[in-house]
Structure formats: structure tokens, C-alpha cells
């Protein structure tokens, strides 16, 4: 089982396929196996070297319990550490939800290591959200109810997309790590960071997703952004509808690679 190390924190990853390297980064509390379950690996591995990784605090990666370990710069450095471990200098990046948040962190902390960004279901907020100043939010309150409540809430959120094998993964989640990682999200300046970003960017989001306004606003700030919205889809749908997302990704990446 391969691991990269970032300051002593081990980051679990897996590689599938051949071609230009493409990092796939899951959302909050997720697992790299979800990329298999939803068909992303099967749909992309013939043309890309897919680099799947468990975020710190998730899956088989290490799970620090101090909130400073979840600073955005460190999360971005985890992605770079995986590339370094594989000897890859430049890669494409796709992140959904929390993975998209980390993708916007790449724009700030490591744009020189990437060829393009594909961001799903996430805009780049300019405000830092700190739960330690305002008390626990709904997500933290849910996590503190225990594993059964956490797994049940995720099953309800995914609805028809839920797969039976996911329950055991969520029941095994280190909820203390999830609690800590949810406590602080850092803002990224549109004027100072995103307006100067030269990487080609694809931003996609469901029009029924609460992230839609932020994603649209972010796309306006990024010079090389392509913005695609999916009518009638919510946050979960826009990740699980691979019949829509995979062609979009493939077309975008083909244009970037040809350019």
C-alpha cells in the first residue's frame, strides 16, 4: 500500500492507468475508493494516469487530531508530496467539494506543479470560517452524535446514489479527525490569487447546489475559467452523474493537452 509523507503525516494513494497524470481528490470525509464506485476510474484510466489519494484525516491516510494539521497549505502540500513520491513534476487536478476547495488552495500555494484544474461543486470563498470562534456548526454537531448517526446522515444525503459498501467505510471513520478538519476553512483572495491564475480551469456545479453562487462568482474571477452548470442537479447529483461529468472532463483535458 503506497504512502507519501508530508512532514511525518502519511498520505495513502493509488495509481491506475497510463497517460498524462491526473490527480482525483475526493470530498469531505470521503475515500479514494469512491472514484471506482462511481465509474471515474473505468472511464478515465485508458487515457490518463490516475492518481487517487485519501485526504489527511480520511481513508487509509494518517488522521491528526489537532486543527493546525488541517491548514490549507498542508492539504495542498499533501497533493504535492504524492506527486513527488511518484516522481511527477506536473499533473492535472480534479477535486470535488472539499477536493475543489483544495484545488483552489493549489491556485494559491502550488500552481507551478499543475497543468490544469477541474473543480466540481466548490467556489473559492474569500472569508475564513472558524468554528472555534462561533461554536460548533451543524456538521460538527452531527459528527459528535457518533458513527451510526454519521453514516445514516450520509446515506440520506446520497439518496439513490448510495452504495451498500459505503456504510462500513463511514462507520469506521475517525470522527475526532473529521470534527477537527471541519472546524476551519480558509478564504482565498479573488483579486490577489485567482485573478492572476494562468492555469486553464474547468468549474462545474449543479444549479440546485448551495455552492452554485460561489462557484459562479469564482469563475468570473479566474481569467482562464470555463464554467458549466447542470440544471436540476444538486451537490451529490453533480458528482455522481458521470454520464455528464466524464465527457466534460475528457473534452476539457483533450483541449488542454492539445494546447
Report pLDDT digits (tens) over 213-239: 999 999 999 998 999 999 999 999 999
Asked whether the beta carbons of 143 and 179 are under 8 A apart, the reply is yes
Q: Which of 238, 231, 86, 83 is nearest to 158 (CA)?
A: 238
How does pLDDT run across 102-119, given as a tens digit for each residue?
Answer: 999 999 999 999 999 999
Predicted local distance difference test score (pLDDT) of residue 6: 98
Q: What percent of the chain has pLDDT over 90?
A: 88
How does pLDDT run across 197-213, given as a tens digit for each residue?
Answer: 999 999 999 999 999 99
Q: How far is CA 106 from each of CA 110, 122, 151, 169, 197, rounded to the nearest angstrom?
A: 5, 13, 30, 28, 10
Average pLDDT of the chain to the nearest whole number: 94
Q: Is the pLDDT of residue 43 over 80?
A: yes
Asked whether the beta carbons of 91 and 114 are under 8 A apart, the reply is yes
Instruction: Give domain 3-133+186-258's CATH number out of 3.30.200.20, 3.40.50.300, 3.10.110.10, 3.40.50.1820.
Output: 3.40.50.1820
Predicted local distance difference test score (pLDDT) of residue 132: 60
Q: What residue spans define the domains of the chain?
A: 3-133+186-258
For residue 240, with 0-12 CB atoms within 10 Å meaning exposed, 13-18 middle and 19 or more buried, which class applies?
Answer: buried
Distance CA 163, CA 31 (A): 13
Secondary structure element (H or E) that encloses residue 175, with its range: helix 175-181
Asked whether the beta carbons of 92 and 20 are under 8 A apart, the reply is yes
Predicted local distance difference test score (pLDDT) of residue 136: 64
How does pLDDT run across 129-186, given as a tens digit for each residue?
Answer: 775 655 567 777 888 889 999 999 999 999 999 999 999 999 999 999 999 998 888 9
Predicted local distance difference test score (pLDDT) of residue 127: 87
User: What's the CA angle centered on 78, arms 74 and 82, to 5 degrees?
Assistant: 160
Residue identified by cell 471541519 is 182
Amino acid at each position: 500500500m503506497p504512502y507519501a509523507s508530508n512532514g511525518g503525516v502519511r498520505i495513502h494513494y493509488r495509481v491506475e492507468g497510463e497517460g498524462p497524470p491526473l490527480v482525483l481528490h475526493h470530498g469531505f470525509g470521503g475515500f479514494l475508493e469512491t472514484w471506482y464506485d462511481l465509474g471515474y476510474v473505468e472511464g478515465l484510466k485508458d487515457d490518463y494516469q490516475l492518481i487517487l489519494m485519501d485526504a489527511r484525516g480520511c481513508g487509509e491516510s494518517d488522521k491528526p487530531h489537532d486543527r493546525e494539521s488541517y491548514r490549507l497549505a498542508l492539504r495542498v502540500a499533501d497533493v504535492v508530496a504524492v506527486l513527488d513520491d511518484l516522481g511527477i513534476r506536473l499533473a492535472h487536478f480534479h477535486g470535488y467539494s472539499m477536493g475543489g476547495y483544495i484545488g483552489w488552495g493549489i491556485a494559491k500555494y502550488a500552481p507551478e506543479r499543475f497543468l490544469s484544474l477541474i473543480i466540481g461543486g466548490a467556489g473559492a470563498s474569500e472569508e475564513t470560517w472558524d468554528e472555534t470562534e462561533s461554536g460548533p456548526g451543524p456538521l460538527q454537531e452531527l459528527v459528535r452524535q457518533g458513527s451510526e448517526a454519521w453514516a445514516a446522515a450520509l446515506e440520506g444525503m446520497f439518496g439513490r446514489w448510495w452504495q451498500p459498501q459505503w456504510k462500513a467505510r463511514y462507520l469506521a471513520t475517525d470522527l475526532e479527525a473529521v470534527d477537527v478538519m471541519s472546524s476551519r476553512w480558509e478564504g482565498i483572495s479573488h483579486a490577489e490569487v485567482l485573478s492572476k491564475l494562468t492555469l486553464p480551469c474547468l468549474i462545474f456545479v449543479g444549479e440546485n447546489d448551495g455552492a452554485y453562487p460561489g462557484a459562479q462568482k469564482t469563475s468570473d474571477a479566474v481569467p482562464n475559467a470555463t464554467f458549466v452548470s447542470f440544471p436540476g442537479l444538486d451537490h451529490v447529483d453533480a458528482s455522481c452523474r458521470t454520464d455528464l461529468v466524464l465527457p466534460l472532463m475528457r473534452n476539457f483535458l483533450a483541449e488542454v493537452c492539445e494546447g
